[in-house]
Structure 1
Amino acid sequence: MDQHNSSDSLPDIERIPDTHFKSKRQIVFERNAKSGILGLLLIWSCIILIRTISQVTHPYGNSNNVGFQLPIGNVTKQGLLKVSMENIRNGTFQPQMHSLNWFHYADTDNEDRGFYTTSMNDSYVVKSVTDQDFAEVLFHGRYFTHDGKNFTVDEIIPSPDVKQLLIRTQTVKNWRHSVFGSYFVFKIEELSFVHVGDDIALAKWSPDADNIAFVQNNDIYIYSTKTASQLRRITNDGSAEVFNGKPDWVYEEEVLSSDTALWWSPNARFISFIKIDETHVREFNIPYYVQHENDIYPEMRSIKYPKSGTPNPEVDLFVYDTKEDSTYESKISNFYENPDFLLTEVTWIDGFNLIVKTSDRSSDCLKVVAINLSTKETTISREESSEGGWWEITQNTTPLLLNRSATKQESGYIDIIPIAGFNHLVYYPVKNSSGYIKLTKGDWEVIDGPSAVDKEYGRIYFIATRKSSTERHLYYVNVNNLGEIVEVTDTSKPGLYKATFSSSARFALLSYNGPDVPYQKIIDLRSYYTDSEVEGNVIGKTLYYLEKNVKLREMLSQYDIPEKSFQQLDLGQDESGNTILVNSYEILPNDFDPKKKNYYPVFFYAYGGPNSQQVLKSFSIGFNEAIASQLNAIVVVVDGRGTGFKGKAFRSLLRDRLGKYEALDQISAASFYGAKSYVDEEKISLFGWSYGGYLTLKTLERDSGKHFKYGLSVAPVTDWRLYDSIYTERYMHTPQENAAGYEESSVHNITSFNDVNRFLLIHGTGDDNVHFQNSLKFLDLLNLNSVKNYDVHIFPDSDHAIRYHNAGTMVYDKLFEWTKHAFTGKFIK
C-alpha cells in the first residue's frame, strides 16, 4: 500500500488560503521570495540539464576530453542511417554469394555444356549454363529415412558420373577442416540408400565412380558401389598415433589446409596417401569447463601438438595399386638425414606419375620428388634453396599434358616459383626435369597458381596482382604465344575477382568481390561476341547473372557508410636508406570535419603476419565501420613489412626476427597520424587478433606508450616457443638454432607496458591453435613486474574463433565498449 499525506484524509471542504489572515507587507514579501526561489530553481534546472546532456555526450566527464563528442543518435546530417553493432551482428551488409560444382557428364558428347550441381529450394539439382531451363533433380529434401531411422542431410557429394550421391549425416566437428560422420550412397535411378559406415573421417569417389576410399579409425578402406560392400582394407596400422590418408592436427592446420591426405589417380587405379606417425609428438592437454551443466570436474582433451623445436610427426608417402592389391612405399624419408622433414603437396601428373613437394622442417630447402609407378622409382627432380627467405607451403601444382612433337606427348606441370623476387607461373615440360619455361614475369605476383587450363585454346588462366597488390584481376597466357598476357577482367576500374571454371574452361563463374557491391555472372570465354556494356569481363560474353545483390544495393542507399580510402604510406627510410612504402587504408567517420583540432581518435587494426594481407579493395562493412560510425574514430589498417604480394624482399625481412619490423611500421604509421591537426594523439589504439594480437602486444612493448596509448589483443601468441613447429620454424627456424631470435620475438619487456594508458587481453580457454597458455604466461609476467593497467576477458571453452556459448556476440561487444571507454577518457591516469 502507498504512503499518503495526512491532509488527504480531510473531509472534502473548501479551504481558505493562509494569505487571508496575513498583512499586505507579508504578502508582498512572500511573493518576492517565491519569485526568487523560482528563479533559482530555474537556474539550477538549467545547470542540471546541461550536466545531464554533458554526461550523455561525455559519459565519463573527463576534462581531458575537451571538444570531443560521441555521435548523438544513429542518423547523419544527411538523414542517412549509421552503421551500428546490431547491423554487424545480424549480417545486414553481408552479400549473397554462390558456389558451383562444375562437372562433365561422361555420357554426353565432348561439347562442354557447362554442367554444374547446386542446391535449390531444398533440392540438389543439375543445371547447365547453356540452357537455363534445364534442371535435373538428383535429390529432394533435407532429410531421409533408412531402416526406419530419420537422418539429416549435412553434405552431398555427387559421383563423377553424377549417377550416385555420397551423403554425409550425423556430422561431428573435429578440427578446423575435419569432421566425422555417417555416410550413405544414394543411387539416383533406383532411389535407394546403402549404408557405407559410421564415424568416417573422410570419403572420396574414385574417378570412374565405381569405388569410394574412406578413412575410419585412421585406416583406409575401399567400398565398392557395384557390390554395395567393403571391397578391401588398405592399411592395418591406424591408431591414435598413426594416421593413414587423414592429416593429424598440425598437418591439417598448417600444411594441407584440408581434411584430406589421400588422392586417387586419374585412371582410378592408384590411391596415394600420406602416413603420419605422431608417436614422438608431445601431447598438450586442454581442459573444458562448461560442456555439460552438471559437470563438476573439467573434461580433459589431449591433442598431439608439436611446439617449436620439439619432435615433428614422421611422414612418408605410399601408393596403393587396386589392380595388383599391393602398396608401394616411396621412401622419401631416404632423401633426408632427419625424420622431421615436411611433406607438403601431392599431385598426380597422369595415371602413373606423381609429383611430391617436400622440405626440411624450417622450409629452407625444397625437394620436388617424382614417383613413377610403372618403374616403381622415386627420384628427386628439383632441389632449390630459399636463398634467405623460406618456401611457402602451397597446393597449386597443376598437371598439363602438351604435344611436344607430332608423335609424342609429355606429362608436364605448371608451378609457381620466385622469378626476380616475385611469384610467377612456370611450366615444367617433363615431369622429372628441373628445367622450366617462364609463363609470366614482372614486379607483380600470381595468386594460388593457375585457375584453369583451356587445352583446346591453349590458355592458362590465373589471378594476379599485375595492376595493383591491393587488387585481383583475371588474366590468361597462351602457351602458343608466350610473353603476351591478356586481360580478362576490366583493369581500368578497381576490382577484386575470383573465378571457377567448367570442365573445359570454356565457361566461368566470375565473382566480383569489391570494392563496390559484389555480383556473380556466368561468362562464355570462347564467345566471339562481347558485352555491349562492360561490367567485369572485357573478354567473353555474359550469359546471365547468378547474383546481383539487388536488395543489398537498395538497402545501402539508406545508410551513410563511412568512407574508405586506399593509399601508400611513406614510413621513412629503412636501415639501408630505402624508402618504406606500405599499403594502407583509412575509414573516416560520418560527418568528418578536417578543420577540427586535436579531435579525432584513431583506431588501428592489424594482422601483420608473414605473407598475409588485410589491405584489399574488397567489399566489407563490419566492425571497423561500426567503430568509425559509432565512436567518431578514424580507422586505419596498415600492411607493414613482412606482409604478402609485394615481393620476396618485402616479406622475407621478417626471417628469424618476428615482431620487429611489423611493430616498427605500426608505430611509424601511428606517428604519421598523430601529427595530423585533426587527430587527438592521446587517443590512438591498436587492435589485433591471433597474429594481430601478438603484433598488438609487441607494438605496445616497443612503443612504451609514446604513440599507442591503448591496445586490444585477442588470442595472441606471446612466446613463439609455445606455437606449433611447422608455422613458426618456417619464419624463425628452431629455438635451438635461433635462441636469441626467439627471446627477442617474445613479449618480454614487460615494464614498458606501464607507460601505456591501458590495454585489454582476451582469450578462449579451449583454443587448440594459440593455446591459452600464451596469455597465462604473459599474465604471470605482468604480475611479476607489478603491471596493473590492463583488463582481461576470458571465454570458457571457446576455440580460436571465440564463438562458444554466445561468445561471438560478447567478444565484439566487449571490444566495442572497451574502445568507447578509452576514447571517452575513462582510462586516463
Structure 2
Amino acid sequence: MAFFSRARGLFSYGDLNGSVSEIRGVNSGSSVHIDEPGMLSANDKYRKRKRRTLIGVALLALVVILIIALSSRQKEMVSSALKRLPKSFSSASGTSRHPSEIKSENRVKYQDFIQSRFVPTNYPDFNATWISDKEFMLENFYDGLQIFDVETLTSKKLMSSSLMNHYRVYDYYLSVDRKYLLLKTNPSRVYRRSSIAEFIIMPLRDGRVSTTQNKLEPADYNGKRPFLIRQASFAPTGNGIVYVDRENNIYYRPTALGQDVKLTTNGEDGKIFNGIPDWVFEEEVFEESNAIWWAPDGKKLVWGSFDDTEVEIYLLQSYGTLEHVEQYPLIKDLAYPKVGNKNPIVTLWMCNFDQGPCDTKLIKPPKSLKGQEVHFSRVKFVDDHHFAVQWMNRVQNVTVVSLCQTEGEADCIEIFANEEKEGWIEFKYTLYFDPLWTPEKSPVPDFVTILSKPSSKHRYRQVMLVSDQKRTFLTQRDADVTDIAKWSKDGYIYFMAVAEDLPGSEHMYRLPSPNLSNNDLDPQCMSCSFNTTDELHKRPCEKFSISMSNEGAYFVMNCRGPGTPYSCIHRTSTNEMLMVYDDNYKVERRMKGVELPTIQHMEVPISGSELKAQVKMYLPPGFDPTREYPMLVYIYGGPGSQHVDLSFNQFEYQTYLAGSKEFIYTIIDPMGTAGQGDKWRFSMYHQFGTVEVTTIQDVTRYLQNNLQYIDAERTAIWGWSYGGFLSLTTLASDTENMFDCGISVAPVADWLLYDTYYTERYMGLPQENRQGYNESRVFGKLDNLRNKSFYLIHGTDDDNVHYQQSLLISQALEDKDILFRQQSYTDQDHSINDYREHLYHSITDFLINDCFREKDRSIRK
C-alpha cells in the first residue's frame, strides 16, 4: 500500500510543480543550510548541551548518569563512550530555564498532541512506492500523483490533486507497462489492515490519466450498487489484474480491460476466504490483507484459502449513533479462534496460465510435518518457475521451508527446517535467495535468513547463509540483526542491525555475497558515516529505516531519531547522498519556541539477568533536581516489542504530559522485549506476566530509591493492550506500594480468551502449560487494588481484545467490593480512534484529580 504525504513542499530542495521539472540535487559534499530565526543550529545545540551540568544526584555505583551530547561524532565514538559508561545519556535537550521563567504560551499544548502538530512526514518509513530501479510514485497534497526519477531528479505528473479528490482516491497502483492506473476509492474498514472499496481503471495517455474511466467489475455484473472489491493488484509484467470480490472469490484478467476468469467459486463472506486472509491470519500471521503471490513473469499465481466454517463465532454488538439510534443493537459475527480451539483450515493453491486454461494445483504441506496441524506464514517466488513456502506447526516453534515448482504437479522439496526449543520462531522471518541462482548452477538456491547464534552469550540474531543444507553465520556481532533489506545482483547483502552497546539504535549495513572472493570482509555500516549530518544542520541520527529500489541501485535512508526525522536519497554503489527528500522543516518551525521535555536514556540492573533494562525518561522543561516530581510509568512489554529506542517521538502523549503538567514520564522495556538477544527475548516464554512484572518492579524501585527528584508517593503505571495486562498485573502484584494507581486500556485479563496464533506462539497449548495460563490470570490477584486507584478503559467493539475481558475484570472487582473507575467507548475498536481527545483528557484528569489528588503539591492544573 502506498501511504500519502500531505505536506506542501515535500521535496525541500526542488519544485514539483508542472509536468516535468528539474530538481537541484544535494550531494554528499554539498552544504545544506536551513536557517530560521530563533532556531538553534547544530553547533548552538552542541554548545548548549555541553554547558548543561550533570544532575547533582547520588546514584548507585552501578549506574552513573552521563549526559552525552549527540553531536557530530560518529557512532563508533558514541559506542565507545557507552562501553565505558553505558548507564545513561540524553537524546533530547529541553530548556534549562527555571520553571517560573517558562511562559504558559510556550508550553506544549494539548491540541499540539491531539492535532499531531509535531508528527513528521515520511515517518516512520518512506511514504512512496518504488516502481522501478530508479523511480518511485508518490502523492503530494498540492501537486497530485507523480513519478520521481532519482537519476535525473525530475518528476512527471500522472494525476492532479483535484482529480484525486474528485474520485476520493485512497490508494493507487500503476501497471508495469505504464498504460493504466488502478484507483482504490471510497473504502470501508473490514479488519485492522483490510477494507472493501470500489476500484477504477484509468487509461494513461502520454503519461497522464485520460478522462476515460472503467469500473473494475465482472462483465456480467448488473447490480444497482457499486461492485465492491476486497483486494486488487497488477501483474508484475504487462497490465493483467487479479482481484477478490466481496464474496471472497478470485478473478483474473490477462489485460486491464480484458475478460475475467473466475478462479474460485466457493468463497463466502465471513466463512471462506480466497486470496485474502481471515481475521486471525490478517492480525497475527501476515500482518497484511493480501494472500495472493505473482510469479515474476506474471503467468502464475499462488494463493491461500482460509476456511472458517468450524471456527467459533464471537458476537460483536453495534449500538449505533445518536443520529441513527438502533432500537436493537446490530450483531456482527466474527470467526475468532480462542486458545485451544479450532483454527481455520488453511490450504495453498497454484495456477499456471502459461499452460493454457488454469489448472489449479493444491500445494501440500511438508511430509516431515505430517500428522501435525500446520499453516503457511510466507510465500516467495525465487524465479519464474520456483517458489518457496514457509510452513509452521501450530505453536510456531518448528518451521520447514519447501521449494516448489510451477510446472507439472507443483512438486515440492524440503530445503530447510528449524526447531526453537527455548522460545518461538518469528512468524514473519525473512528469506532472501541468491539473485543469480539458476537450476543449472545447483538444484537448490542458496538463501540467507536471520537466526540467533546458540553459542553466543546472549543469543544475538545474525545473518545466516544456508547453502546445500550447510548453515554458516555471515555476521558475528554482539548485537541483533533486525532485518534483511535485499540480496542484490551487485554482490552485496543489505541488512539492518542494532549498533553494539546501543540497544535502541538501528543502522544499515552491507556485506559481500558469500559466493564472491571478498567474502571475508567485515560488514560495512552505510549509515554510521552519515551520522555527522553537518550538511543538514541536523542532530546525529542513530535510528534508521531504509527503502531500496526494485533492484537496489538506490535507496531512501530515513532517519527516525533521536532528532527531527529526515529522509535522503542515496546511490547504493557509492553510498553518495543525491538529495534531501524531506527535511521536516515545517515540524521544526512548529516546535520553535515550544519548551519540550529532556529525554534521558538509562540502563537499570535487574534481578535474573546480566543484561540491563532499557529505560527512557521524559523530564519536564526547566527540570529542577531539588524538587520532587510525580512519575507515570508507561509499559507495553509484549514479546519481541521495543518502545525504548532512539526514535523521535516528541509528538506523543508523554511530550504533553511532561511538557505541560510537569510529570516525569518513564518508559520501560522489560524482559521479553527486543534489542538484546534471544536469551532476553525468550525469558518470558510460557510465563506471561512474570519476568516482565519483576523487571517493572526492579526498575521502579531503583528509580524511587536512587533518584531523589522522583516522588515515591506519587507514582502511577499505565498501559494499553498487552501493556494493559502488565499494568494491571503489576499493580495487583505490588505489595510494596510502589504504585499509587494504575490505568489499563483494553487489557487482556485471561489469555484463554485471546486468539490462538498469538497466544499459543508464546504460551503453548493450554493442556501443555496449564500452570502458565492459570498464573497469568489476573482475577485472583486483585486484592492489592483495595488501597489503590484504578482506571479501566475499553471500546465495546474491540475485535482484538474483546470487551468481555474488561467486563470480567469489573465483575471480579465488584465481587470484592473494590472501588474503581471505568470508561466504555461505544462502538470503538481496539484503537479508540474516534474519541482520542476524550480518552487522553480522561487519563490526564484521572492522574491529577484522582490518582494524586490527596498528595498533590506541585502538579500544574
* SS at structure 2 position matched to 1:230: coil
Question: 1:544 corresponds to which residue?
Answer: 579
* SS at structure 2 position matched to 1:545: strand
Q: CA deviation at 1:280?
A: 1.1
Question: 1:253 corresponds to which residue?
Answer: 283
Question: 2:44 corresponds to which residue?
Answer: none
Whether the 8 Å contact between 2:433 and 2:487 is mirrored in structure 1 is no
Write the mapping of 1:279-298 to structure 2, written as runs, cut at 5 A: 279-291=309-321, 293-298=324-329
Write the mapping of 1:130-169 to structure 2, written as runs, cut at 5 A: 130-132=151-153, 134-143=154-163, 151-169=167-185
Question: 1:400 corresponds to which residue?
Answer: 434
Q: CA deviation at 1:514?
A: 0.6
Aligned-pair RMSD on alpha carbons? 2.4
Q: CA deviation at 1:659?
A: 0.5
Q: Deviations over 1:42-86 (max 9, x none)?
A: xxxxxxxxxxxxxxxxxxxxxxxxxxxxxxx99762558222322
The answer as to 2:351 corresponding to 1:320 is yes
Task: Give, as a single letter, the amino acid of the residue that structure 2 aligns with 1:808.
Answer: R
The answer as to 2:241 corresponding to 1:194 is no
Q: Deviations over 1:370-428 (max 9, x none)?
A: 21223531232222211211111115322322369997796433222222322222233
* SS at structure 1 position matched to 2:811: helix
1:386 and 1:580 map into 2 onto residues whose CA distance is 22
Whether the 8 Å contact between 1:758 and 1:827 is mirrored in structure 2 is no
Question: 2:771 corresponds to which residue?
Answer: 740
Q: CA deviation at 1:654?
A: 0.8
Q: CA deviation at 1:151?
A: 3.7
* SS at structure 2 position matched to 1:154: strand
Question: 2:268 corresponds to which residue?
Answer: 239
Q: Deviations over 1:685-714 (max 9, x none)?
A: 001011100000110111146211110110
Task: Give, as a single letter, the amino acid of the residue that structure 2 aligns with 1:92.
Answer: R
Equivalent in 365, 379, 382 of residue 349 of structure 1: 382
Write the mapping of 1:224-623 to structure 2, written as runs, cut at 5 A: 224-225=254-255, 228-240=257-269, 241-291=271-321, 293-324=324-355, 325-332=358-365, 335-337=368-370, 340-374=373-407, 376-394=410-428, 396-402=430-436, 411-420=445-454, 421-429=459-467, 433-448=468-483, 450-456=484-490, 458-467=491-500, 468-479=502-513, 480=516, 481-483=518-520, 484-490=522-528, 493-527=540-574, 540-571=575-606, 573-574=607-608, 578-596=609-627, 599-621=628-650, 622-623=652-653
Q: Deviations over 1:182-220 (max 9, x none)?
A: 112211028232221221111121111231111111111
2:585 and 2:178 map into 1 onto residues whose CA distance is 33
1:225 and 1:75 map into 2 onto residues whose CA distance is 67
1:778 and 1:235 map into 2 onto residues whose CA distance is 44
Q: Deviations over 1:327-385 (max 9, x none)?
A: 11112176545564231111111111111111111112112222122353123222221
1:322 and 1:387 map into 2 onto residues whose CA distance is 42
2:418 and 2:439 map into 1 onto residues whose CA distance is 29
Question: 1:799 corresponds to which residue?
Answer: 829
1:692 and 1:246 map into 2 onto residues whose CA distance is 30
The answer as to 2:695 corresponding to 1:672 is no
1:338 and 1:285 map into 2 onto residues whose CA distance is 32
Q: Please, what TM-score do these two structures have when normalized by structure 1?
A: 0.83
Question: 1:180 corresponds to which residue?
Answer: 196
Task: Give, as a single letter, the amino acid of the residue that structure 1 aligns with 2:853.
Answer: G
Task: Give, as a single letter, the amino acid of the residue that structure 2 aligns with 1:503.
Answer: N
Structure 1, unmatched stretches of 5+, are 1-72, 105-111, 528-539
Q: Deviations over 1:492-537 (max 9, x none)?
A: 655111111123322111111110111111112324xxxxxxxxxx
Whether the 8 Å contact between 1:74 and 1:81 is mirrored in structure 2 is no
* SS at structure 1 position matched to 2:728: helix
* SS at structure 2 position matched to 1:726: helix
Q: Deviations over 1:9-35 (max 9, x none)?
A: xxxxxxxxxxxxxxxxxxxxxxxxxxx
Cα separation, partners in 2 of 1:403 and 1:366, compared to 1, 3 Å: closer
Question: 2:130 corresponds to which residue?
Answer: 102
Q: CA deviation at 1:309?
A: 0.5
Whether the 8 Å contact between 1:704 and 1:752 is mirrored in structure 2 is no
Q: CA deviation at 1:296?
A: 1.5
Whether the 8 Å contact between 1:144 and 1:151 is mirrored in structure 2 is yes
1:567 and 1:268 map into 2 onto residues whose CA distance is 51
Task: Give, as a single letter, the amino acid of the residue that structure 2 aligns with 1:570.
Answer: P
Cα separation, partners in 2 of 1:409 and 1:334, compared to 1, 3 Å: closer
* SS at structure 2 position matched to 1:641: coil
Cα separation, partners in 2 of 1:823 and 1:711, compared to 1, 3 Å: closer
* SS at structure 1 position matched to 2:391: strand
How many residue pairs are counted as aligned between the two chains? 717
Cα separation, partners in 2 of 1:509 and 1:711, compared to 1, 3 Å: same
Whether the 8 Å contact between 2:733 and 2:781 is mirrored in structure 1 is no
Whether the 8 Å contact between 2:375 and 2:391 is mirrored in structure 1 is yes
Structure 2, unmatched stretches of 5+, are 1-96, 218-226, 532-539, 857-861
Question: 1:58 corresponds to which residue?
Answer: none
1:230 and 1:766 map into 2 onto residues whose CA distance is 40
1:689 and 1:321 map into 2 onto residues whose CA distance is 46
Identical-pair percentage = 25
Question: 2:50 corresponds to which residue?
Answer: none
Question: 2:45 corresponds to which residue?
Answer: none
Cα separation, partners in 2 of 1:624 and 1:338, compared to 1, 3 Å: farther
1:364 and 1:151 map into 2 onto residues whose CA distance is 47
Q: Deviations over 1:608-665 (max 9, x none)?
A: 0100000011111121122212332211111110001211110111111100111111
Write the mapping of 1:111-130 to structure 2, written as runs, cut at 5 A: 114-120=134-140, 121-130=142-151
Whether the 8 Å contact between 1:348 and 1:399 is mirrored in structure 2 is no
Once the two structures are overlaid, the 10-residue window that deviates more, 212-221 or 765-774, is 212-221
Question: 1:32 corresponds to which residue?
Answer: none
Whether the 8 Å contact between 2:240 and 2:254 is mirrored in structure 1 is yes
Q: Deviations over 1:274-305 (max 9, x none)?
A: 11111111000010112462311111111000
Equivalent in 203, 211, 215 of residue 232 of structure 2: 203
Cα separation, partners in 2 of 1:751 and 1:213, compared to 1, 3 Å: closer
Task: Give, as a single letter, the amino acid of the residue that structure 2 aligns with 1:329.
Answer: L
Q: Please, what TM-score do these two structures have when normalized by structure 2?
A: 0.80
The answer as to 2:101 corresponding to 1:77 is yes
Q: CA deviation at 1:591?
A: 2.1
2:677 and 2:644 map into 1 onto residues whose CA distance is 15
Equivalent in 643, 657, 666 of residue 627 of structure 1: 657
Cα separation, partners in 2 of 1:412 and 1:580, compared to 1, 3 Å: closer
Q: CA deviation at 1:271?
A: 0.4
1:779 and 1:434 map into 2 onto residues whose CA distance is 54
Q: CA deviation at 1:785?
A: 1.6
1:454 and 1:751 map into 2 onto residues whose CA distance is 55
Task: Give, as a single letter, the amino acid of the residue that structure 2 aligns with 1:341.
Answer: V
Task: Give, as a single letter, the amino acid of the residue that structure 2 aligns with 1:154.
Answer: Y
* SS at structure 1 position matched to 2:563: coil
Task: Give, as a single letter, the amino acid of the residue that structure 2 aligns with 1:211.
Answer: G
Whether the 8 Å contact between 1:314 and 1:340 is mirrored in structure 2 is no
1:648 and 1:588 map into 2 onto residues whose CA distance is 31
1:488 and 1:165 map into 2 onto residues whose CA distance is 35
* SS at structure 2 position matched to 1:471: strand
